Amino acid sequence: MTVRFRWWRYTALPALLLLQGCMPRSVIVHDGLDTTVVDQHTRQPLAGVSIIDAGVVVARSDAQGRVQLAPRRTLKLEPLMGEANVMLNLLACKDGYAPQPVAERRGWNADYGPSQVHREVIGLQRGQTGYQCPQ
């Protein structure tokens, strides 16, 4: 009994995807943060600020208002010439304050290229927004 190596089983799917113009690419899910969140008016650090990505809390500020979050990437199957107008951002949210977008990327194919770590101080402004921060 002979066992033959059937190379086509292992190359057919990648070849088919390439023939259709698709290839796996590493894309940015969100950039990172290494910053402090403060009250815009008093400049005092804010503890317990939620950092939200697509409705999910991915980080919270500590007692000194510090937030550290590593950039996140994923592997995605994309057309070779696939262009997309993307808007990636993290949202800083705390009850009693207006939510603020942070770590933004916008534009055509903004999810490709190198990730960044945003280091600007985030100032939240008090206000009644009607927006309920996810817990």
Q: Looking at residue 48, what is its pLDDT?
A: 95
- The tokens 């208002």 sit on which residue? 65
Best-predicted range by mean pLDDT (19-28, 34-43, 124-133):
34-43
Q: Which domains are delineated in the chain?
A: 28-124 (2.60.40.1120)
pLDDT in tens, 65-97: 999 999 999 888 776 666 778 888 899 999 889
pTM of the model: 0.75
Continuous segment of H or E residues that includes residue 11: helix 7-19
Distance CA 69, CA 66 (A): 10
Query: Which pLDDT belongs to residue 90?
Result: 93
Asked if residues 127 and 41 have their Cβ atoms less than 8 Å apart, the reply is no
**Which tens digit of pLDDT belongs to each residue from 95-129?**
889 999 998 888 888 888 888 999 999 999 998 66
Token code pair at residue 89: 């951002």
